[in-house]
Structure 1
Amino acid sequence: MHRHFHEHRLHRGRHGWGGHGGRHERGERHGRRFGRFFEHGDLRYVVLALLAERSRHGYELIKELEDRTGGAYRPSPGVVYPTLAMLEDEGMIRQTAGDGGRKQFEITDAGRAELENHKATVEALFARMDEAGRASGPGRPRVGRAMMNLGMALKNRMARGCSEDELDRIVSMIDDTAAAIERS
């Protein structure tokens, strides 16, 4: 049973689960390579298009990209926030008053003109995202988030230190959960 889970576990890239540099960003799924999900410069058009729909925070953009691709692509903050900064510097977007002190961004007239000038590229990018979302099937983003939550909980718990008995209980909980998932 444990061998089965080892063979099918999510791959952790250099910068986290499915983030920049991970299998999902490069488009590697189920042992095959499809090339990078976005070519150099494509993310700027996707971000502009998403901001044309409505103003958003950086995290909302990350989540939206993950949702629209069915979990096939989840950019890291280290990719999204520099893209936002660059677009802001270029006058394509601007910050607006956000809730909770987070920076929220909206598209400017210059950004809308940029989108219009690259309409065919944007349509092709969103078609690729839609195709990835259909191919990945329902529920994958939720499973990915749950795996990330588990990973963070384990990392935080292990950082606090634990006795051998506590470690045994944690390992047992993980093993029991794995067995329950396999039986479901």
Structure 2
Amino acid sequence: MRGLFHNHHRRERFGRGPFGGHMGGGHRGGHPGRHGGSRIGRFLEHGDLRFVLLALIAEQPRHGYDLIRELETRTGGAYRPSPGVVYPTLSLLDDEGFIQPSAGDTARKLFEITPAGREALEREGPAVKAVFARMAEAAAQSDQTGPRVRRAMENLGSSLRIRLSQGAVTEAQVDAIARAIDEAAAAIERV
């Protein structure tokens, strides 16, 4: 996002990326989402997650797992950050004084935004809104196609489990099953 992004012990200035997001240092990698999101750059550019998490914490105190679930929900399942991305980002926000542990008595560590965090979030407001807009667009697209595709995937899984649980499967049957799945995958790639 516009502004400074803390990367180890350096501070780098980030500019606009080619997809309307922000990027820096040429790095746009991320972690695969549970539902096939191949990289964070689809919704977030490198450094954006920091302020997206801060915005979610500004809405209400949250813990890491809640943030992971909320991002997955807001993208319609297209992006689910790993704990290995979220928890270090929370530590960074805490180190920067943008969040602090909540005084609540819960089993999980809740974080709440600080006045310094609100100021930083206000500066980044337009960029954060743009990220949330991309997430909403992905969720809307997922709502249109997601249920039908998930149903079809569940049908395939059920068919495989039922067929393989019916007793011994010959080598020829295993080859036929694998060939049918490979042909379906190839057909999907051509769509």
How would you bin the TM-score normalised by the shorter chain? 0.5 to 0.7
What aligned pairs does 1:8-157 form with structure 2 within 5 A after superposition?
Answer: 18=33, 23-26=36-39, 35-98=41-104, 100-137=106-143
Measure, in 1, the Cα distance between the counterparts of 2:87 and 2:56. 14
Measure, in 1, the Cα distance between the counterparts of 2:124 and 2:63. 23
CA RMSD after TM alignment:
3.1
**What is the TM-score when the length of structure 1 is the normalising length?**
0.59
Measure, in 1, the Cα distance between the counterparts of 2:59 and 2:121. 12
Give the number of the structure whose residues are more often helix, by fraction: 1
**What is the TM-score when the length of structure 2 is the normalising length?**
0.57
CA contact 1:25–1:74 (8 Å) conserved in 2: no
Please say which structure displays the higher CA radius of gyration.
Answer: 2
Equivalent AA in structure 1 for residue 134 of structure 2: R
Task: Identify unmatched segments of 5+ residues in structure 1.
Answer: 1-13, 28-34, 148-167, 174-184
Q: Compared with structure 1, are the counterparts of its residues 98 and 80 closer, same or farther at alpha carbon in structure 2 (3 Å cutoff)?
A: farther
SS at match of 2:37: helix
CA contact 2:63–2:111 (8 Å) conserved in 1: yes
Which residue is 1:172 aligned to?
A: 165
Task: Identify unmatched segments of 5+ residues in structure 2.
Answer: 1-29, 154-160, 167-191
CA contact 2:57–2:112 (8 Å) conserved in 1: yes
Task: Tell me how many residue pairs correspond in the alignment.
Answer: 127
Measure, in 2, the Cα distance between the counterparts of 1:50 and 1:85. 15
Q: Compared with structure 1, are the counterparts of its residues 132 and 169 closer, same or farther at alpha carbon in structure 2 (3 Å cutoff)?
A: closer
